[in-house]
Amino acid sequence: MEKLYYTIGETAEILGENPSLVRYWSNQFSKYLKPKRNAKGNRLYTAEDLDTLKQIHLLVKGQGLTLDGAGKKLALERKTVDRRVKVLESLKEIKARLQEVRRGL
């Protein structure tokens, strides 16, 4: 079952980055990311926010774009980038399953 909200620590762990980078991206891409805040003021990310952060991660870390370039690409090709992220996640899952099978041989 998918969670309703992810803490910044959980989000950072999913992305394989540190929380300060997630916080920075949240501030830089505020047009696309609107995390909720709990009573303490901590950021809480939805599954949609997480997908957007994965897209940003792909563009910045995977394709080497600047933050400005990533913002422009998100604005123009949001659905295309989203598909690429989903394909990469599927490939990672397949790779992990194949490695499990290989260890079992």
Do 29 and 56 touch, CB atoms closer than 8 A?
yes
- Within 10 A of 54 (CB to CB), how many other CB atoms are there? 21
21: left (phi over 0), alpha (psi -120 to 50) or beta: alpha
The residue range of the domain holding 91 is 6-104
Structural domain includes residue 1 = no
What pLDDT does 93 receive?
87
Q: Mean pLDDT over residues 5-9, rounded? A: 95
Helix/strand/coil for 67: helix
Structural domain includes residue 10 = yes
Q: Residue 95 sits in a domain of what CATH number? A: 1.10.1660.10
pLDDT (tens digit per residue) in 15-48: 999 999 999 999 999 988 999 999 999 999 999 8
pLDDT (tens digit per residue) in 58-91: 999 999 999 999 998 888 876 666 677 777 788 8
Q: How many domains does the chain have?
A: 1
Query: What pLDDT band is residue 99 in, cutting at 50, 70 and 90?
Result: very high
pTM exceeds 0.75, yes or no: no
Do 65 and 59 touch, CB atoms closer than 8 A?
yes
Alpha carbon separation from 76 to 10, 34, 45, 46, 72 (Å, rounded): 29, 19, 23, 23, 6
Element housing 7 (H / E)? strand 6-7
Locate 44 and state its tokens. 């809480």
